[in-house]
Amino acid sequence: MILVIVILIFGYLVLDSIKKFITLNKISFKLKGPTPLPIVGNLIQIGDKGHKVLLKYHEKYGDVYRIWMGDYFTIVVRDIDMIKKMYIDNAYVFLNHSDTPSNQYFSHNFGGLPFNLDKSEWKKRRVITAGALSKVKLRNVYNSMNSIIGQLLENLKQHSISGEPFEPHYHSDKLLSDINFKLFFNSDPDRNDVKSKEFQKFSDAVNQIVVDLGTGKLSDFVYMLQPLLLKYYQWTYKHMNFIDKFIEREYNEHVETFKPEYNEDPRDFLDTLIVKMGEHYEGDDIKKMVLELLFNIFIASIDTTAGTIEWAYLYLANYPDIQEEVYQELKTVIGDRELLPSDRNSTPLLNAFIKELNRIKPVVPFNIPRLTTDDVEIDGIFIPKNTHIIANTYGVGYCEKYFPNPSEFNPSRFLNPHINYSVFSYGPRGCVGQHFAMDILFLSIGNIIKSYKVSKPNGTKISEEGKLGLSFRPFDFTVSIEERK
């Protein structure tokens, strides 16, 4: 028996090496990259500091190189022109995100939007989602945005009065939960009824899923282990069931209380989805589509946007001169009145601060990896079908040819931008929530700067290192704040 197992393992290793060799031969060794190990490829070298390791490889192997993520032959790119040739000019070949078991399980078997592998189905849902996230459809959510942010400013007051340092992590996550509950379920923050307990449980389950999804798993990338991971999720994972039931209850309640006028003036995103899905699907399919979409979008929006706001606290504290300049801009342009999304046209310093934050600490540092669905050649490089693509946003931001002295935090480089850098990616599968996210970032970060002076406790510089999970966020840190008079 032991002999059979040893022979099987040996045979697998030999086949794996042959497969890797043939793939490399196919692309004519044009792309350089680190030597892969059998089965794991380069995953061990990359470890949990992927942003730094992939950047180092760029320095060694150039703007485009190859690695193996387990069984996935992967091309890593930090050249913006090449990324655009892939994601815009050849969008159809590069459209799908990767097909790992975690993506499969947490997307209800490749349903919803981000991990849908059926391109025509994806397109239908994408159009519906983009329409539902438009400013006109989200009128009611936008009308509540300043009061939700007002609640954040009120909660921050206690720290200003006590003078005690605090962790911004909690406040950023709570702000995004509050905005999401308003967006998805028209629920006001800090409500004191039975339902608020259910919302809290839902938030906790979502947070747990964010943690689980953000933990790298070798079995996602090794074909032989993939069925085991999927079974493990199906047999042991409890949170998805709870989430599904919660959203279904909200869906049913929305349908029962729906009034004809909500067709034109929806209460929230869920109303719009119900109406729009009804134009394309029938019966129980509508409910299924809505449930899948809602969950995906909840996850896609919360950790990313909250993470960016958390980085903002850190950089405001570490760079008091820059903070003061942005504050003076807001004082002059906005004065005592409420900050509005339309003020973005007249606040170049605040916009540049947010863009530089997105460059130096992109919360989605490697994009969501894509998977090619055909052979294609770009810039003389042959890219076979089923190649994993990492458009390395972190690498672009730290590339000297685009951003001289990239380790320096310098928002003024975005005052006259000559580079089309985007943390939201490019082309038809780029982030569908980009405009909504930018409005949240503008209003929340702008309001924090307008209302409080953020500083580092004891004057000690806060570590700017980040940790990779589902999003790229800072390690725990504290700041102090003082109310602006």
What number of chain residues touch ligand HEM (CB under 6 A)? 25
172 binds ligand HEM (CB under 6 A): no
Reduced to 3 states (helix: H, G, I; strand: E, B; else coil), residue 52 is: helix
Nearer to ligand HEM, 365 or 406 (CB): 365
Q: What are the residues whose beta carbons fall under 8 Å from the beta carbon of 292, sequence distance 6 or more? A: 107, 108, 111, 112
Count of residues for the chain? 485
Using CB under 6 A, pick the residue from 433, 446, 466, 474 that binds ligand HEM.
433
Nearer to ligand HEM, 160 or 203 (CB): 203
Within 437-466, the residues that bind ligand HEM by CB under 6 A are: 437
Kindly indicate which of the ranges 9-17, 99-107, 235-243, 425-433 contains the residues binding ligand HEM, using the contact rule CB under 6 A: 425-433
Whether residue 409 contacts residue 311, with contact meaning beta carbons closer than 8 Å, is answered with no
The annotated binding site is made up of: 431
Kindly indicate which of the ranges 13-21, 247-255, 377-385, 429-437 contains the residues binding ligand HEM, using the contact rule CB under 6 A: 429-437
Q: Is 147 left (phi over 0), alpha (psi -120 to 50) or beta?
A: alpha
Q: How far apart are CA 453 and CA 482, in angstroms?
A: 5
Q: Is 188 left (phi over 0), alpha (psi -120 to 50) or beta?
A: beta
Q: 381-383 and 466-468: which strand pairing? A: unpaired
Reduced to 3 states (helix: H, G, I; strand: E, B; else coil), residue 125 is: helix
Using CB under 6 A, pick the residue from 187, 208, 373, 425 that binds ligand HEM.
425
114 binds ligand HEM (CB under 6 A): yes
Nearer to ligand HEM, 300 or 314 (CB): 300
Task: Tell me the residue number closest to ligand HEM, measured at CB.
Answer: 433
Longest Cα separation, the chain: 79
52 binds ligand HEM (CB under 6 A): no
Burial (CB < 10 A; 0-12, 13-18, 19+), residue 235, is exposed
Kindly indicate which of the ranges 7-15, 19-27, 319-327, 418-426 contains the residues binding ligand HEM, using the contact rule CB under 6 A: 418-426
Q: What are the residues whose beta carbons fall under 8 Å from the beta carbon of 356, sequence distance 6 or more? A: 409, 410, 411, 413, 414
Using CB under 6 A, pick the residue from 31, 431, 445, 470 that binds ligand HEM.
431
The annotated binding site for heme is made up of: 431
Nearer to ligand HEM, 339 or 437 (CB): 437
Q: How far apart are CA 359 and CA 354, in angstroms?
A: 9
Distance of CA 261 to the CA centre of its chain: 34
Binding mask 281-310 for ligand HEM (x = CB under 6 A): ---------------xx--xx--xx--x--
Whether residue 388 contacts residue 369, with contact meaning beta carbons closer than 8 Å, is answered with yes
Binding mask 358-387 for ligand HEM (x = CB under 6 A): -----xx--xx-------------------
Per CB under 6 A, residues contacting ligand HEM are: 113-114, 126, 133, 296-297, 300-301, 304-305, 308, 363-364, 367-368, 423-425, 429-433, 436-437
